[in-house]
Structure 1
Amino acid sequence: MKIITAAVVLSCMLIGQTFAQKNQTNQKKMNATEQKEHYTFTLSDKVVRKKVSFKNRYGIVLSGDYYLPKNKENEKLPALAISGPFGAVKEQSSGLYANQMAEKGFAVIAFDPSYTGESGGEPRNIASSDINTEDFSAAVDFLGLQKNVDRDKIGIIGICGFGGFALNATAIDKRVKAVATTSMYDMPRVSSKGYYDKMTQEERDKILKEMSLQRWKDAEKGSPEYGNSPNPNVLKGDEPQFVKDYFDYYKTPRGFHERSVNSNQAWTKTNGFSLMNIPILAYIKEISPRPLLLIAGENAHSRYFSEDVYKMAAEPKELMIIPNAVHVDLYDKTDIIPFDKLESFFRTYLK
């Protein structure tokens, strides 16, 4: 298949759908008021869930769902912080993972990253190599203060783009005892170099110049402009398979959520400003001696990210390839996602 250039990548993944100011206002109202809850999965009858909030180091209030196994609310439990995919919300994949892992006996927080979903931060729908890494550490802060959590037994799961941020958070935050990723993306790498690192210097310069000039437009206007759709509203049929897969998750009842950037919103036109210039995996060897588990689909377009991280990381490390699976299969297909493996991994190393 013809490799997609970085310009197309950024239009597909980072610079989202035109997002009018009116829609921003509607979202703020939705975040501030009681709304009928919409989750893309069913809560287990063995699990309880409650809404929580906590601040990160920058003072941004993050919104999360705290999952606990029933009848164990007063026990000291191993705990997990989960977020992702990039552009998703806690009512999608991260919540599904939290639900499954709580059913297996873990205390779990699934959270919306800064500037997205129900979490705070203005303007809306921007990403940051630094702040999104910090969001994981803030979730660890939260877990360590819970009376039913053993703060010496805290791990992280990062999905898709938040797999990369999870690895970065684990490298710097020594409270995290083990980390696992599924369908991992290194967002700064793909933003700055394109898929398979095929971005040319000319393409990179063009994108950076456009974003640089956009800053003056935003400053003059007093608010950011939003770009094109991360995922098309209608498929023409000639899209790469991974774009069709994203559509099948984010744009259909399977995974659609009204607060998800990837379902019906957008990133700012300058969203790549941090991602394109602040790499996150320079210190990945410092995860060791804590263990690392990387899970990727055999047929996932993103598989190479996990394979490259596996080569870069120090022991103990493990790479698990799921036969026949594509990238989004590891978002929500509970018959494919290896939850038993995740349980045994964290049971072994959260000690």
Structure 2
Amino acid sequence: MSNLEITDKWDKVFPKSDKVDHKKVTFKNRYGFTLVADLYKPKDSTDKLPAIACAGPFGAVKEQVSGLYAQTLAEMGFLTIAFDPSFTGESSGEPRDMASPDINTEDFQAAVDYLVTSDDVDGERVGICGICGWGGMALNAASIDTRIKATVTSTMYNMTRINAKGYYDADDNADARYEMKVALNNQRTEDFKNGQYAKAGGVIKEVTDDLPQFVKDYHDFYIEPLGYHPRSPGSNDGWNVTGCMSFISQPIIAYSDEIRTPILIIHGEKAHSRYFSEDEFAKLTGDNKELMIVPDAVHTDLYYKTDVIPFEKIAEFFRENL
């Protein structure tokens, strides 16, 4: 993707706000990948603004959830960007639909590079917001990048934990991991023979009664018109089967207890993934952390339901800490 294909049309799954200015921007990360982002700025703003970089969910693109967060927070007075991580969406990186605990953490840091050097931004007032799998990446970035002054995670997944241990740590044993690694490495051999990477299939396309409710919720967002997007891995053929392999042995958030900046962790009360946020919150130290459980909300409610996502709380948190 040496020549990026960047669309000029508004192709988000949410309506365009008349309260903000919008444009596409690009910047490189430390590995040389070019990231494409939507920048949102309050209309008629002339002052240097506090800024927020948004990304996620895992398998989504900036036209789905992170853009909604970014545009809404721009309406509330922040300069924001929502970016496509490396290997996804409009950003560069080959092969497509790969993930990396290192590179994807770097993506957040590259977004911070862009913001702290922008003429429109107060470089001492930059925060980040990670949704779903990029909530874990956001915490990881906050643990290494001291330029990040405040961090919000929403409906967070810890991608290293889910890949190495399965849901609710049900496969947290050496034999289960070994069998998984055998299957993944066999797939690597087949991919090399075939000259292309097999895809995992994305979110399930046909819903049956026996499926867990959260799988049905993912379908309703990613596959139905509500949230479908043609560039989204989740909405289409998914990640490469081996795309998340490195997460098994490369844990993120190893030093979350050393984060000195404020953290707000948000999760739905009825989300299947709630334990990720509660367990990561328990590791944080100091008095600058807060866990907000949204009553009755499931995991995907915090993707798109503007009457459920606590935007006022998020904006208040960033105003107080940026």
TM value normalised by structure 1:
0.88
Structure 1 segment 213-232 matched on structure 2, within 5 A: 213-227=186-200, 229-232=201-204
Contact 2:41/2:74, CA 8 A, preserved across alignment: yes
Alignment match of 1:61 (pick from 23, 29, 34) = 34
Alignment match of 1:302 (pick from 257, 268, 273) = 273
Measured in 1, the distance between the counterparts of 2:194 and 2:236 equals 24
Measured in 2, the distance between the counterparts of 1:33 and 1:134 equals 22
Measured in 2, the distance between the counterparts of 1:69 and 1:218 equals 47
**Does 2:311 align with 1:339?**
yes
Structure 1 segment 255-294 matched on structure 2, within 5 A: 255-288=227-260, 290-294=261-265
Measured in 2, the distance between the counterparts of 1:34 and 1:348 equals 36
1:129 matched residue in structure 2: 101
What SS does structure 1 have at the residue aligned with 2:234? helix
1:243 matched residue in structure 2: 215
User: Comparing both structures, which one devotes a greater share of its residues to helix?
Assistant: 1
Alignment match of 1:330 (pick from 280, 283, 302) = 302
Amino acid at match of 2:17: S
Contact 1:231/1:263, CA 8 A, preserved across alignment: yes
1:185 matched residue in structure 2: 157
Q: How far apart are residue 286 of structure 1 and its match?
A: 1.8
Gap regions ≥5 residues in structure 2: none
1:208 matched residue in structure 2: 181
The structure with higher relative contact order (CA 8 Å, sep 6+) is 1
What SS does structure 2 have at the residue aligned with 1:154? strand
Contact 2:203/2:238, CA 8 A, preserved across alignment: no
1:9 matched residue in structure 2: none
Measured in 2, the distance between the counterparts of 1:34 and 1:330 equals 27
Q: Deviations over 1:294-316 (max 9, x none)?
A: 00000000110110011101121
Q: Deviations over 1:104-152 (max 9, x none)?
A: 1100010000000000000000000000000000000011121010000
What SS does structure 2 have at the residue aligned with 1:71? coil
2:51 matched residue in structure 1: 79
What SS does structure 1 have at the residue aligned with 2:57? coil
Contact 2:6/2:90, CA 8 A, preserved across alignment: no
Contact 1:259/1:265, CA 8 A, preserved across alignment: no
Measured in 2, the distance between the counterparts of 1:139 and 1:237 equals 42
Measured in 2, the distance between the counterparts of 1:186 and 1:210 equals 22
Identity %: 52
Q: How far apart are residue 33 of structure 1 and its match?
A: 6.1
Contact 1:295/1:322, CA 8 A, preserved across alignment: yes
Measured in 2, the distance between the counterparts of 1:46 and 1:35 equals 19
Q: How far apart are residue 29 of structure 1 and its match?
A: 12
Q: How far apart are residue 32 of structure 1 and its match?
A: 2.2
Contact 1:231/1:246, CA 8 A, preserved across alignment: yes
What SS does structure 2 have at the residue aligned with 1:269? coil
Q: Deviations over 1:158-201 (max 9, x none)?
A: 00000000000010000000101000000010010011111043
Q: How far apart are residue 266 of structure 1 and its match?
A: 1.9
Q: Deviations over 1:13-55 (max 9, x none)?
A: xxxxxxxxxxxxxxx7996264743111112111111001100
Amino acid at match of 1:141: D
Q: Deviations over 1:84-115 (max 9, x none)?
A: 00000000000000010000110001000000
Flag the 1:33–1:106 CA change in 2: closer, same or farther, 3 A: closer
What SS does structure 1 have at the residue aligned with 2:16? coil
Q: How far apart are residue 82 of structure 1 and its match?
A: 0.3
Q: How many matched pairs?
A: 320
What SS does structure 2 have at the residue aligned with 1:262? coil
Q: Deviations over 1:265-313 (max 9, x none)?
A: 221121132111110011001212x111000000000110110011101
Amino acid at match of 2:182: K
Measured in 2, the distance between the counterparts of 1:241 and 1:308 equals 22
What SS does structure 2 have at the residue aligned with 1:32? coil
Amino acid at match of 2:13: T
1:348 matched residue in structure 2: 320
Structure 1 residue runs of 4+, over 3 Å off? 28-31, 33-37
Gap regions ≥5 residues in structure 1: 1-27
Of 217-226 and 50-59, the range deviating more from structure 2: 217-226
Amino acid at match of 1:121: G
1:15 matched residue in structure 2: none
